[in-house]
Structure 1
């Protein structure tokens, strides 16, 4: 930890849909994840659309006090678009906006810096009914929503992200269908990928129109594609295509206003759709910071016929790396977060970087002593944070680290089966919160970094 500045920001994150729950309470409008929850088998543990999340709205003060007890410098959260604007257009919901007032004010009262994400996957259902993110009108509505939120909260929130992991929105939501809205169609995914880049530009400009001094960026799950095995010319070409899907499309599109030519060519060849970068708009409003979400490298081996998630690849297949796996089955690749941070810094040396998500899924429950001994999570975090510190010391303009996630919660298509939280939530017993041993270790790390 030596060498880190005292103002290095240590935080944790959550998202609205995962902790606030479904629409059944009547406090918010429907979103595409409510709709997906009504599709039999779409959520692996059978969780329906009207799940309770972890009752964060009802237990706000409890959760704020947990953040203070853990000595967090910052908290990254998302606004539920249908909570503040039930149908995604028209009237805004004062009750919903007042909730985020209480959240933000509660954070500031505890000297915790808010970090706000406008879109973390919970698109209002009414907007999906008109084509969702394929429809340019939704981009315009997103701009109106962004402006309204900025006018409401811009006096108190310094850090803004337009959206979280648009790659997941485009490809997992619209190509594989495992995420909402559950569509399996390549042309749709391509159109969504284009409009999301436009939405970042449009949303950033809207935020700054109301609050010129705030700092706006985007949060992407960037990665370092790697081969576990012999590298051939064909394999390396495929890795470059994967890099285009996961990294270059979003970073070049959102931060430079241009698209990688190889992906534009693939999309046009596969779908007949030409993504015109001239339609992106002015990206200068949304490049104040870069958010990196990183869990593991995308690992492949040769000898395959291409990976369906990356159309255009022809000679690779999915592979693991090493012997360690989280309970999600994800390989440990702590060196990869350092590599990725260095690559970002080399391409965008003047833009501050935050690790906006990093964490691991281990489903440990309470032991006989009532404690949650999540030793594997602790070991994982030690290695990844060490790599982040090494990246900073190598010259990366790294300003902070957000651990994912603060609480066990609704883990998207997995339902409540998978636990990423620092804090254990007893889903069957009043949503009781119990900090895990990793949470206490993280608290001690934060405190020691300020000494």
Structure 2
């Protein structure tokens, strides 16, 4: 059955500054936390860094031409705080000018620019003053946001404050997996709060400047299912993951409160950390964090099935579950086990679960959105594809793309106001702690020559966009 999309629905692709730009220390840009973290022995596979990445800083006209060739209606990119306000200080005109040129190139090619202010590349100088555990960083972020609006507010309508604050707090300050590599429960909680506060205050500032802007935040969310829907321990395992991954961010943004059950979970693990966090949440903070939005970005890659006990011999459906050795950045996951479901897996070892995207969009719409539109701001898969002549036959990614676009159509049919889909990523790129080993792009990049080749998945996406149907 052919599924068609509303006329206002936007098809796009997404990238992030540190992952593609390169030019790490050119024209005034100084070190970000990722420049520093990537140089810590053992932090990144093969000790890779983003110094060159996809050289997008010098090749952006070629990359925009590829977007035009694919028929992209919109392009989601992030601006580099370290390029725009190096070390968190004065404005760097040359850095700002790069984004002016990029936006002009997009508009000249009828591609809608979608700007994300923070995709994890805080200036290292600010991290050395405490980073996101320091409340002063909130003020520095609002200043940076104002700089970008001064430069691009007349040409950019869609603004996202933060990308995936879960990653830049718990994954970065508690698990130590991402920059800056800290491993402290309290630091993760403080970082999460200050990230959310910077979001709320930035929304207030940008709305004060221009009420016509469409302002939002992007959250990476999951579908947490109990292995046995009738087993209290499995239900509680799913509750804990949903609470720490989803509700810790959704509740303060949409309800102006942090979830009590997750606070209790944290307190059982580290009561001192909770005490530090409680002192950091000042009067008025949650009012700012819950400033009404115009849109919510949802990033989805996979769901998860969870058990609260060691796996039994037989799963509820008769299949033998397998406990996965999954490191978790959450401080209250003792006794939780990730259960195999026999689903296909990507090169990241993530399950492929398109129907989870439909359920997630429905849940967010019903429980939180309150009528504001949703956008799937990231959805994609890494596979070990290989170039063959002038083509890259990546049938697994092509299937992943098609099935997830269908899942979005299912959500729209169910009454969810989903207004856009951004594939992650436009280009193969620097994939954080995995370096250059994981390829997510619908365009292949040969890192030694910077040659670009549209993959079969990219051609399929172009057909979907042209037909506005899948």
TM-score, structure 1 normalization: 0.95
Give 3-state SS (helix, strand or coil) of 2:182's partner.
coil
Checking the alignment, whether the CA contact within 8 Å between 1:150 and 1:211 is kept in structure 2 is no
Give the Cα separation in 2 of the matches to 1:395 and 1:124. Answer: 42
1:357 aligns with 2:373: no
1:301 aligns with 2:307: yes
Give the Cα separation in 1 of the matches to 2:67 and 2:32. Answer: 28
Give the Cα separation in 2 of the matches to 1:356 and 1:253. Answer: 20
Checking the alignment, whether the CA contact within 8 Å between 2:236 and 2:308 is kept in structure 1 is no
Instruction: After TM superposition, give the deviation of residue 26 of structure 1 in Å.
Output: 4.9
Of the three residues 376, 382, 395, the one matched with 2:402 is: 382
Closer, same or farther: CA 282–302 of 1 in aligned 2, 3 Å: closer
Instruction: State the partner residue of 2:25.
Output: 24
Instruction: State the partner residue of 1:436.
Output: 455
Give the Cα separation in 2 of the matches to 1:187 and 1:12. Answer: 35
Give 3-state SS (helix, strand or coil) of 1:121's partner.
coil
Give the Cα separation in 2 of the matches to 1:80 and 1:12. Answer: 18
Closer, same or farther: CA 350–205 of 1 in aligned 2, 3 Å: same
Give the Cα separation in 2 of the matches to 1:331 and 1:381. Answer: 14
In the TM superposition, what are the counterparts of 1:54-73 in structure 2 within 5 Å? 54-73=54-73
Instruction: State the partner residue of 1:448.
Output: 467
Checking the alignment, whether the CA contact within 8 Å between 1:304 and 1:317 is kept in structure 2 is yes
Checking the alignment, whether the CA contact within 8 Å between 2:445 and 2:451 is kept in structure 1 is yes
In the TM superposition, what are the counterparts of 1:111-150 in structure 2 within 5 Å? 111-150=110-149
Moved more, 9-18 or 344-353: 344-353
Instruction: After TM superposition, give the deviation of residue 65 of structure 1 in Å.
Output: 0.4
Give the Cα separation in 1 of the matches to 2:112 and 2:240. Answer: 37
Q: Which runs of 5+ in 2 are unaligned?
A: 312-325
1:87 aligns with 2:57: no
Checking the alignment, whether the CA contact within 8 Å between 2:27 and 2:94 is kept in structure 1 is no
Give 3-state SS (helix, strand or coil) of 2:378's partner.
strand
Instruction: After TM superposition, give the deviation of residue 328 of structure 1 in Å.
Output: 0.7
Instruction: State the partner residue of 1:366.
Output: 387
Give the Cα separation in 2 of the matches to 1:131 and 1:264. Answer: 23
Closer, same or farther: CA 141–26 of 1 in aligned 2, 3 Å: same
Checking the alignment, whether the CA contact within 8 Å between 1:256 and 1:283 is kept in structure 2 is no
Give 3-state SS (helix, strand or coil) of 2:460's partner.
helix
Closer, same or farther: CA 154–284 of 1 in aligned 2, 3 Å: farther
In the TM superposition, what are the counterparts of 1:23-422 in structure 2 within 5 Å? 23-48=24-49, 51-89=51-89, 91-228=90-227, 231-269=230-268, 270=270, 271-273=273-275, 274-275=277-278, 276=281, 278=283, 279-283=285-289, 285=291, 287-304=293-310, 308-347=328-367, 348-367=369-388, 369-422=389-442
Give 3-state SS (helix, strand or coil) of 2:429's partner.
coil
Give 3-state SS (helix, strand or coil) of 1:42's partner.
coil
Moved more, 10-19 or 307-316: 307-316
Give the Cα separation in 2 of the matches to 1:135 and 1:310. Answer: 21
Checking the alignment, whether the CA contact within 8 Å between 1:23 and 1:29 is kept in structure 2 is yes
Q: Which runs of 5+ in 1 are unaligned?
A: none
Instruction: After TM superposition, give the deviation of residue 304 of structure 1 in Å.
Output: 4.1
Checking the alignment, whether the CA contact within 8 Å between 2:4 and 2:469 is kept in structure 1 is no
Give the Cα separation in 2 of the matches to 1:18 and 1:449. Answer: 29
Instruction: After TM superposition, give the deviation of residue 221 of structure 1 in Å.
Output: 0.4
Checking the alignment, whether the CA contact within 8 Å between 1:353 and 1:399 is kept in structure 2 is yes
Instruction: After TM superposition, give the deviation of residue 423 of structure 1 in Å.
Output: 0.3
Moved more, 408-417 or 283-292: 283-292
Give the Cα separation in 1 of the matches to 2:74 and 2:60. Answer: 16
Q: Deviations along 1:205-253, whole A, 9 cap, x unmatched?
A: 1222222210111100011112345752122112112111111111111
Give the Cα separation in 2 of the matches to 1:413 and 1:422. Answer: 21
Give 3-state SS (helix, strand or coil) of 2:67's partner.
helix
Give 3-state SS (helix, strand or coil) of 2:375's partner.
strand
Instruction: After TM superposition, give the deviation of residue 320 of structure 1 in Å.
Output: 3.2
Moved more, 253-262 or 110-119: 253-262
Moved more, 298-307 or 60-69: 298-307
Moved more, 55-64 or 39-48: 39-48
Q: CA RMSD in A?
A: 1.9
Checking the alignment, whether the CA contact within 8 Å between 1:366 and 1:372 is kept in structure 2 is yes
Instruction: After TM superposition, give the deviation of residue 259 of structure 1 in Å.
Output: 1.0
TM-score, structure 2 normalization: 0.91
Moved over 6 A (4+): none
